[in-house]
Amino acid sequence: MPEQSLTLDAVLTDEAVLSTYRRMFAALARDSGAVVDDPALVDIAETLFAAFAEAGEEWLTHEQMRFACRAYPGDQFDNRLRVLKGLGAIREVFPKPNQLRYRASFTSVVGLMFIRRMMDDGGQSEMHRLLALEDLNVADPRTTGDEARQSAVNLARAFRLWALELITLTTGTIEELREQAPKLWGTEEIARRAQGLHGTILTRWPELDRVCTDLRAAIYAYSDASRRAAGRLADSAGTTRNLTLLPTETWRTFAQTASRERLAAVLDGFVFDAPAPWHDPAAIARAVDEAPRPAPA
pLDDT in the model for residue 64: 92
**How do residues 124-143 score in pLDDT, each as one tens digit?**
777 888 888 888 888 888 98
Q: Where are the domains of the chain?
A: 8-115, 122-257
Q: What band does 99 get if pLDDT is binned at 50, 70 and 90?
A: confident
* Residue-level pLDDT at 2: 44
Residue 291 has a pLDDT of 80
Cα–Cα distance measured from residue 120 to residue 183, given in angstroms and rounded to the nearest whole number = 10
CATH architecture of 8-115: Orthogonal Bundle (1.10)
Asked if 128 and 187 touch (Cβ cutoff 8 Å), the reply is no
pLDDT at 215: 92
183 neighbors 127 (Cβ within 8 angstroms): no
Cβ burial of 275 (10 Å; 0-12, 13-18, 19+) is exposed
Express each pLDDT in 194-220 by its tens digit: 999 999 999 999 999 999 999 999 999
Q: Is the pLDDT of residue 3 over 60?
A: no
In the predicted structure, residue 296 carries a pLDDT above the cut 70: no
Q: Is the confidence at residue 275, as pLDDT, over 70?
A: no
